Amino acid sequence: MIKGLYETHLYVSNLERSTAFYKNVLQLEVCHKDEKRNVIFFWIGAPRKSMLGLWQKPKSEVQSRHFAFECEPAWILNNAVSFLQRHHLPCYNFLNDGSEEPMVFAWMPAVSIYFNDPDGHVLEFIGILKDDPIPEAGVVSYKEWINISAGH
């Protein structure tokens, strides 16, 4: 019955600023803008597969939300942090331990790194690894994951 998640929506306090962020920084493709309703829609990945809607609302109605963009694990490990740094976006891992090193959720397993949009929404780049899950390992650095998964 359910095949996936098609769309998600966020309230933003400044649609122009958020449009620039999602279009120019994250390089999402605009698929529709409705000026009367103060909303813009972006394709996520291939057109017509998944989308993000941004709705301008008063700042008092904007509450922080979280969602993750699926990316290739190699891109996250080799490029995501430098990409975020080039765009002056502080990044952090799930443990928020002061490190910018991507972490692995061993129960999936997936590697990820977090950052925030202009309204403080918590965004994540996440990539599913090809290894078998090891739930008991918890959340670990990628270097730790390599050692754990090699010995498992």
For residue range 5-56, what is the model confidence (pLDDT) as tens digits?
999 999 999 999 999 999 999 999 999 999 999 999 999 999 999 999 999 9
pLDDT at 92: 97
What is the domain extent for residue 37? 1-62
Confidence of residue 147 (pLDDT cuts 50, 70, 90): very high
| CATH code of 129's domain | 3.10.180.10
Indicate whether 74 and 55 sit together in one domain.
Answer: no
Instruction: Among 62, 83, 103, give the residue marking a domain's end.
Output: 62
What local confidence, expressed as pLDDT, does residue 29 receive?
A: 97
The whole-model pTM stands at 0.94
Other CB atoms within 10 Å distance of the CB of residue 66: 10
Three-state SS letters, the chain: CCCCCCEEEEEECCHHHHHHHHHHHCCCEEEEEECCCCEEEEECCCCCCCEEEEEECCHHHCCCCEEEEECCHHHHHHHHHHHHHHCCCCCECCCCCCCCCCEEECCCCEEEEEEECCCCCEEEEEEECCCCCCHHHCEEEHHHHHHHHHCC
Q: Tens digit of pLDDT for each residue in 63-87?
A: 999 999 999 999 999 999 999 999 9
Q: Are 115 and 129 within one domain?
A: yes
Domain boundary residue, one of 14, 47, 62: 62
The residue out of 39, 62, 85 marking a domain boundary is 62
Please state the domain count of the chain. Answer: 2
